[in-house]
């Protein structure tokens, strides 16, 4: 149930892609079309809902209208649904997908950081918002086509001196669409010694 509009919201059901967690039609498929076409650097990830209807509205309110109160709800849902999965993954540190400094200043906050902090409180895992920064103020991914999205993120992120090698990292973002953002950071962290990189997002774009 959506907190504000009271519309019923459906959780993502099985079967799901073993990599990105998108719903797939048949169990035997194992992976969604997208994950059979790309080699991703991250290990695995999950989202709570599909990015549509009231969820889409709710994430938008949270992201652009500073409805920070939603973050606690999202984090509790993550913990309720994926708590066991997080324990299995053995996460050492939670890292939010960073915003460029300029955009963060303009918006006044980074929604992924708020989410990461809320989740950190739920599961008692340290949150590190300083080790990964966005050095290029990229155009919003939603304004670009698939090809542009990929090149848009080339060298957009950097690992700072704050980074202390953690074996298992959980990346936090609001929405998973093509996976390019999460994967750019996963690739970078692995170059810097991370062994496994997972992700959680609130919502995920519809499967192909």
Contact 34, 207 (CB under 8 A): yes
Give the binding range for Zn ion (CB under 5 A) out of 29-37, 67-75, 78-86, 108-116. Answer: 29-37
Residue in the block written with tokens 């509205």 = 57
Out of 6, 11, 16, 20, the residue judged to bind Zn ion by CB under 5 A:
20
Q: Which of residues 35-94 bind Zn ion (CB under 5 A)?
A: 35
Contact 129, 171 (CB under 8 A): no
Give the binding range for Zn ion (CB under 5 A) out of 28-36, 47-55, 112-120, 156-164. Answer: 28-36
Measured between its terminal Cα atoms, the distance across the chain in Å is 26
Give the binding range for Zn ion (CB under 5 A) out of 27-35, 51-59, 61-69, 115-123. Answer: 27-35
Beta pairing, strands 93-96 & 168-176 = parallel
Give the Å distances, CA to CA, from 35 to 121, 150, 157, 162. 32, 15, 23, 32
Give the binding range for Zn ion (CB under 5 A) out of 4-12, 30-38, 49-57, 181-189. Answer: 30-38
Out of 16, 19, 41, 63, the residue judged to bind Zn ion by CB under 5 A:
19
| 64 cis-preceded (ω within 30 degrees of 0) | no
**Residue 99 or 186 having the CB closest to Zn ion:** 186
Out of 32, 99, 114, 189, the residue judged to bind Zn ion by CB under 5 A:
32
Q: What backbone phi and psi angles, to 5 degrees, belong to 114? A: -60, -45
Contact 91, 168 (CB under 8 A): yes
**Residue 19 or 149 having the CB closest to Zn ion:** 19
Does 204 bind Zn ion (CB under 5 A)? Our answer is no
Please tell me the number of Cα atoms within 13 Å of 53 on its side-chain side.
13
Does 17 bind Zn ion (CB under 5 A)? Our answer is yes
Q: Which residues bind Zn ion (CB under 5 A)?
A: 17, 19-20, 22, 32, 35
């Amino acid at each position: 149930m959506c907190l504000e509009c009271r519309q019923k919201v459906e959780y993502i059901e099985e079967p799901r892609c073993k990599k990105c967690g998108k719903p797939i039609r048949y169990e035997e498929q194992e992976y969604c079309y997208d994950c059979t076409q790309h080699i991703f650097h991250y290990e695995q990830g999950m989202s709570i809902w599909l990015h549509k209807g009231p969820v889409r509205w709710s994430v938008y309110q949270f992201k652009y209208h500073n409805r920070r109160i939603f973050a606690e709800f999202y984090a509790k849902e993550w913990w309720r649904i994926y708590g066991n999965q997080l324990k299995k993954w053995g996460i050492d540190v939670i890292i939010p997908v960073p915003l460029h400094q300029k955009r963060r200043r303009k918006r006044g906050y980074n929604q992924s950081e708020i989410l990461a902090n809320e989740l950190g409180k739920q599961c008692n895992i340290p949150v590190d918002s300083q080790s990964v920064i966005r050095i290029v103020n990229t155009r919003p991914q939603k304004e670009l086509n698939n090809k542009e999205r990929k090149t848009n993120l080339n060298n957009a992120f950097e690992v700072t001196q704050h980074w202390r090698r953690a074996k298992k990292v959980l990346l936090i973002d609001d929405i998973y669409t093509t996976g390019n953002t999460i994967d750019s950071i996963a690739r970078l962290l692995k170059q810097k010694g991370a062994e496994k990189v997972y992700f959680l997002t609130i919502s995920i774009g519809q499967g192909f």
